[in-house]
Structure 1
Amino acid sequence: MEQRYQKVSASKVTISELMLPSHQNFSGKIHGGYILMLMDQIAFAAASKYSGSYCVTASVDTVDFLNPIEVGELVTLKASVNYVGNSSMIVGIRVTSENIQTGVEKHCNSSYFTMVAKDANGNNVTVPALELSSHTDVRRFYNALKRISLKNERSRHEETFNHRSPEAIDGLKGYRVKLEL
């Protein structure tokens, strides 16, 4: 069977939403959980649009809240598929907010969601291969490869690290912990 390819542009999605008082947390800023929900929605939209399949969230890689979002600001989320495996896709998401009175924009966070394409029975389905058509596409693909490599290395370390060894216990000196084993 011949390999199908899709351009990154086939996955691009943008959503904007005005932040309302009902979205705020106890400190008066927009609740991070609400932003995460919007990010999950746009990751689903980008992955489903790209793959033509229902998609589920497999993992979320590093969400750093860089700047708070205020009530009354317009939040814009942009997403696109940066990498594909067999049934998985890494969707890059950028979140910005704009003060609609002053026009001042700020970058609030970026994150990467791994999404998996499923059929009606919940089985993984193969997604189209990715056609990279710009240097930005190539950069994002290589960055995804680097994140995958770092995640695999971290998993290998967790599997092999002996936290009970004298070296590991001794390595805790200098941290703000009290050992009572």
Structure 2
Amino acid sequence: MMAGMETLFTVGHGTSSQADFTALLRSAGVTSLVDVRIGPGSRKHPHFGKDLMAEWLPDAGIGYRWEKRLGGFRKLPPDSPDTALRNESFRAYAGYMRTGDFLAAAAELVAGSQAVRTAIMCSETLWWRCHRRLISDHCLLLAGQPVEHLMPPGKAVPHVPTKGVRVLGHELRYDVAG
């Protein structure tokens, strides 16, 4: 890790109430939330829709922005080298992480999170079942940025790189057997 790098946090909104979610972010001192859902809405939990979050989060002192370029649900390339990832959607996202769009958005995320205490958010509560896990690998292994996953009721779990990942030049490959 690079000396002096600020911690990036990840969080999944799950079934949280607006108050509980805000309290979880505040417990880590988060003042900026980057939404990494490809479709930033929720029928079951409408308060987690992009437009409403853009209203109530700033009212709570937390900035909000949607970053579509970091969203999940990508198309699996036919020649994916990321064979250590058994989940097809993770393999697809790992391939997407080598694109210019992802790399630019990830660089902006890392830079922005050095100025403001930042969390990335998706809907899945469990970070290991979400593409936040792969974004965390990128930030930790390629940018040297510490990453912690916020879990209710206010616990922060340090990110451990995904099994099977290796750094290959300036990108990640998930191809280590074991």
Q: TM-score, normalised by structure 1?
A: 0.23
| Greater length-normalized contact order (CA 8 Å, ≥ 6 residues apart) | 2
Structure exhibiting the larger radius of gyration computed from Cα positions: 1
Larger helix fraction of residues: 2
Structure with greater proportional strand content: 1
